[in-house]
């Protein structure tokens, strides 16, 4: 099988992507789907801000507003931020450790399709009777009594998507543990790989409580059990604990890969190795560990009592320490470096003050007595948007510019990128800075309108104008992507010129097998070590030989589709329709039948022969 690009028809390309198990193609699927849901979540946000721009508005009804805010949060966190980050982790991490793919390529595809069908199922709620409306946190007292099927869409959709994420987490962990290239010890891994590792460990341990919580809510709503129902001895706080035992590590799952992206960007565009590598690794692991000890800071006002509140408040303060270590290390990386400021570096520099602002309001919220004043006001909304937008979204935009040439072979236009950056930065601060003060002035969150003459009109109007800036910025980014795809020029393996890590040692985009010969890693910043010795490329760690590749398969899509079908059976079961159980069974057969087929049909992959690899040497200018 030749690795030279072949001209393919649309149908062939579509089938290729539907059946691929290649981590690079799966990464593109995640980024496209995540990007699409980001736009959807953005539209939901715009509608919220239009409604809140003026007092006493009835641009949308109260019920619809609740659906909008629920779906905005759920979509942005589960269907946009996580998939975009998973996409980058998929695209970059295997190459950074010198591997040819992840440990379980088939499961990698399955993880994507589970996310896709889960997200699709959740969003079908808009058309099938109404979206969930109890907030992205879906507290059991409210969500148990929400009429219509909205919450059931939430429960079932997130359960399916969550399975996908869990599979992805296990995959990345196994890959990093077993498939590092020779010479790549743990302490020679790039920071982005380390953050992938710790975030994946967080996924492994944080998603099961969510799975159980969703299972319990599903049983209570669909089968009439009594876990959360006080009348039969249940307790609604059980949901809150499960949600936040998941939910707090979840935000670290979001921010750690973002930190990893910025670590790569800071060192590349300072032409200097990351300052304090060991302490960065230590801080990452500590943040991951502490992230599991603080969840009840989301529940200070539920009546846990002063002892529990104090313990969680102190633990919350402690997380600021390793985060601070990281901020200082990034600044020290820049100090004395040879700095350039293309678009990714602009985002990185803007990230520092923005994230710090979000971090310090987090410390304020972490003080239990103070939180009694802030809880459920716009102060909280301002805090988390500062850390998520100022941290995660900036990282995603930065990472998009930074790794676009590696993934697609062309550079995004830097001027347009900077226009997007400035518009987005201004819009972001306009929207959310003022919300701190709205919160301090008493404006509650998750309420569809506000009365005039509270002094909130100006703040809300400014906030809504900022949203418009961000919308324009995103549109310009889309335009950038389209223009680049149509007109852009192809680039080399190391288009930024100063690549330090292994992904810049392979072609842009990489061959399907990544490395013709697995590289020998001789130190941290493996490619930089070779460059400093005057070499143009990595020393190989093995002779040229046949390369074993996995086969594509349509089964991951079918397995996920089966769960999607079964979910409809579960959804309509409480309505007493005759077809609910048959549909559950049919969906189950599709899923378990496909899983059985996968297990009993042998799949040994195929080989790319040595002779074909040697041919490419002559044809390609850049060596893989």
In this chain, which of 170, 294, 334, 555 binds another protein, going by CB under 8 A?
Answer: 170
In this chain, which of 46, 120, 128, 204 binds another protein, going by CB under 8 A?
Answer: 204
Task: Tell me the site size for another protein, rule CB under 8 A.
Answer: 49
Residue closer to another protein (CB basis): 80 or 296:
296
Cβ contacts of 43-49, under 8 Å, gap ≥ 24 = 44/68, 44/69, 44/71, 44/72, 44/75, 45/72, 45/76, 45/467, 46/467, 46/468, 46/471, 48/72, 49/431, 49/463, 49/464, 49/467
Tokens of 243: 């949600």
Binding mask 104-123 for another protein (x = CB under 8 A): x-------------------
Distance of CA 502 to the CA centre of its chain: 23
In angstroms, give the least distance from the CB of 423 to another protein.
42
Closest CA to 361 of 250, 260, 463, 435: 435
In angstroms, give the least distance from the CB of 212 to another protein.
4
In angstroms, give the least distance from the CB of 288 to another protein.
10
In this chain, which of 182, 185, 224, 282 binds another protein, going by CB under 8 A?
Answer: 224
- Of residues 277-316, which lie at the interface with another protein (CB under 8 A)? 292-293, 296, 304-305, 308
- Residue-wise over 121-157: b if at least 16 C-beta within 10 A, else e? bbbbbeebebbbbbbbbbbbeebbebeebbbbbbbbb
Q: How far apart are CA 114 and CA 117, in angstroms?
A: 5
Residue 207 is a binding residue for another protein (CB under 8 A): yes
In this chain, which of 50, 60, 212, 426 binds another protein, going by CB under 8 A?
Answer: 212
Q: What is the DSSP letter of 524?
A: S
- Residue-wise over 350-380: b if at least 16 C-beta within 10 A, else e? bbbebbbbbbebbeebbbbeebeebbebbbb
Residue closer to another protein (CB basis): 179 or 363:
179
**Which residues on adjacent β-strands are paired with residue 490?**
410
Q: How far apart are CA 156 and CA 582, in angstroms?
A: 17
Name the segment binding another protein (CB under 8 A); options: 149-157, 203-211, 251-259, 460-468.
203-211
In this chain, which of 85, 92, 103, 160 binds another protein, going by CB under 8 A?
Answer: 103
In angstroms, give the least distance from the CB of 543 to another protein.
17
Q: How far apart are CA 326 and CA 279, in angstroms?
A: 8
Q: How far apart are CA 220 and CA 140, in angstroms?
A: 10
Binding mask 235-254 for another protein (x = CB under 8 A): x-xx--xx--x---------
Binding mask 313-342 for another protein (x = CB under 8 A): ------------------------------
* Residues of this chain that bind another protein (CB under 8 A): 103-104, 166, 170-171, 173-174, 177-179, 201, 204-205, 207-209, 211-213, 215-216, 219-220, 223-227, 229, 232-235, 237-238, 241-242, 245, 292-293, 296, 304-305, 308, 596, 599-600, 602, 604
């Amino acid at each position: 099988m030749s690795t030279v690009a072949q001209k393919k028809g649309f149908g062939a390309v579509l089938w290729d992507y539907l059946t691929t198990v290649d981590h690079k193609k799966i990464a593109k699927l995640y980024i496209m789907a995540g990007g699409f849901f980001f736009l959807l979540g953005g539209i939901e946000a715009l509608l919220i801000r239009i409604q809140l721009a003026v007092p006493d508005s009835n641009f949308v009804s109260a019920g619809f507003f609740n659906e909008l805010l629920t779906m905005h949060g759920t979509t942005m966190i589960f269907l946009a931020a996580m998939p975009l980050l998973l996409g980058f982790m998929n695209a970059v991490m295997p190459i950074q450790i010198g591997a040819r793919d992840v440990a379980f390529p088939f499961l990698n595809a399955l993880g994507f399709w589970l996310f896709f069908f889960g997200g699709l199922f959740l969003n079908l709620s808009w058309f099938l009777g109404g979206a969930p409306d109890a907030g992205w946190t879906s507290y059991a007292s409210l969500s148990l009594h929400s009429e219509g099927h909205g919450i059931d869409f939430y429960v079932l959709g997130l359960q399916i998507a969550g399975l996908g994420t869990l599979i992805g987490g296990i995959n990345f962990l196994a890959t990093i543990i077993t498939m590092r290239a020779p010479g790549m010890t743990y302490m020679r891994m790039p920071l982005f790989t380390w953050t992938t590792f710790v975030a994946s460990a967080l996924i492994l341990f944080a998603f099961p409580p969510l799975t159980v919580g969703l299972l319990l809510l599903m049983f209570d709503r669909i089968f009439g059990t009594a876990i959360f129902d006080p009348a039969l001895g249940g307790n609604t706080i059980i949901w809150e604990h499960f949600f936040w035992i998941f939910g707090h590590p979840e935000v670290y799952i979001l921010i750690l890969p973002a930190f990893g992206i910025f670590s790569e960007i800071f060192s590349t565009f300072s032409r200097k190795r990351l300052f304090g590598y060991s302490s960065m690794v230590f801080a990452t692991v500590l943040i991951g560990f502490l992230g599991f000890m603080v969840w009840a800071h989301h529940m200070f006002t539920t009546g846990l009592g002063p002892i529990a509140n104090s313990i969680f408040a102190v633990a919350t303060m402690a997380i600021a320490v390793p985060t601070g270590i990281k901020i200082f290390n990034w600044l020290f990386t820049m100090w004395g470096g040879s700095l350039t400021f293309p678009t990714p570096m602009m985002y990185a520099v803007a990230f520092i003050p923005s994230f710090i602002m979000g971090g310090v309001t987090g410390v304020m919220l972490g003080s239990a007595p103070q939180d009694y004043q802030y809880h459920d006001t716009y102060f909280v909304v301002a805090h988390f948007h500062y850390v998520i937008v100022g941290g995660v979204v900036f990282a995603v935009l930065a990472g998009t510019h930074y790794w676009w040439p590696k993934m697609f072979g062309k550079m995004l236009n830097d001027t347009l990128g900077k226009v997007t950056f400035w518009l987005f930065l201004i819009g972001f601060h306009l929207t959310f800075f003022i919300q701190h003060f709205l919160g301090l002035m008493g404006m509650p969150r998750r309420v569809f309108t506000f009365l005039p003459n509270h002094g909130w009109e100006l703040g809300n109007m400014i906030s809504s104008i900022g949203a418009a800036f961000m919308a324009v910025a995103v549109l310009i980014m889309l335009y950038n992507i389209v223009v680049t795809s149509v007109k852009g020029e192809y680039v080399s393996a190391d288009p930024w010129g100063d690549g330090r890590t292994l992904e810049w040692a392979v072609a842009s985009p990489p061959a399907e097998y990544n490395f013709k010969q697995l590289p020998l890693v001789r130190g941290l910043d493996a490619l930089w070590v070779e460059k400093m010795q005057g070499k143009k490329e990595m020393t190989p760690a093995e002779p040229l030989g046949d390369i074993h590749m996995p086969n594509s398969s349509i089964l991951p899509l079918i397995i996920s589709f089966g769960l999607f079908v079964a979910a409809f059976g579960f959804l309509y079961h409480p309505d007493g329709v005759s077809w609910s159980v048959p549909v559950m069974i049919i969906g189950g057969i599709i899923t378990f039948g496909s899983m059985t087929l996968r297990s009993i049909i042998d799949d040994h992959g195929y080989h790319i022969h040595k002779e074909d690899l040697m041919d490419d040497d002559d044809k390609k200018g850049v060596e893989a």
